[in-house]
């Protein structure tokens, strides 16, 4: 009887150990390794107001920080662009930039070596500048970074 009890104890301990190891492994597979799971976990960050503001402020800075926009124009356009930026966070452009920004670090997690994170803000910048163009009737086509007029 004692050997049967010992066998059941060993089997129970083995099952408990395997379960304890399998559960975190399954969670990591589902939420870190799998891209869809990773994006689902990072989605609440997209709703964070501070992070949104940081991303849109970067887009405003990039929209005005190139040789095609004179300094005095940039100074006057900044408040208008910042106002537009708060509206842009609910658009498809923001979602597109967010999705791209999250896919890149996911890939970097599984790539050996250093992987720089370069977020392409051009859809966000285009949306911002289009909003300004729609607001100011005398401006038809504001210059976009990376595109020559």
The pLDDT value given to residue 75: 78
Tell me how far apart the alpha carbons of residues 132 and 145 are, in angstroms, rounded to a whole number. Answer: 15
The pLDDT value given to residue 147: 58
The pLDDT value given to residue 95: 78
- pTM, rounded to two decimals: 0.53
Single out the residue of 135, 41, 145 nearest to residue 88, CA to CA. 135
């Amino acid at each position: 009887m004692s050997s049967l009890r010992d066998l059941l104890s060993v089997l129970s301990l083995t099952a408990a150990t395997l379960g304890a190891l399998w559960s975190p492994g399954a969670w990591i597979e589902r939420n870190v390794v799998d891209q869809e799971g990773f994006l689902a976990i990072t989605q609440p960050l997209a709703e964070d107001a501070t992070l949104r503001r940081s991303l849109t402020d970067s887009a405003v800075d990039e929209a005005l920080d190139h040789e095609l926009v004179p300094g005095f124009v940039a100074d006057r356009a900044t408040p208008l662009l910042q106002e537009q930026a708060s509206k842009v966070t609910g658009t498809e452009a923001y979602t597109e930039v967010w999705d791209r920004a999250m896919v890149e670090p996911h890939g970097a997690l599984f790539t050996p070596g250093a992987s720089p994170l370069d977020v392409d803000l051009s859809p966000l910048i285009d949306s911002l500048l289009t909003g300004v163009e729609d607001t100011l009737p005398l401006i038809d086509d504001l210059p976009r970074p990376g595109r020559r007029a």
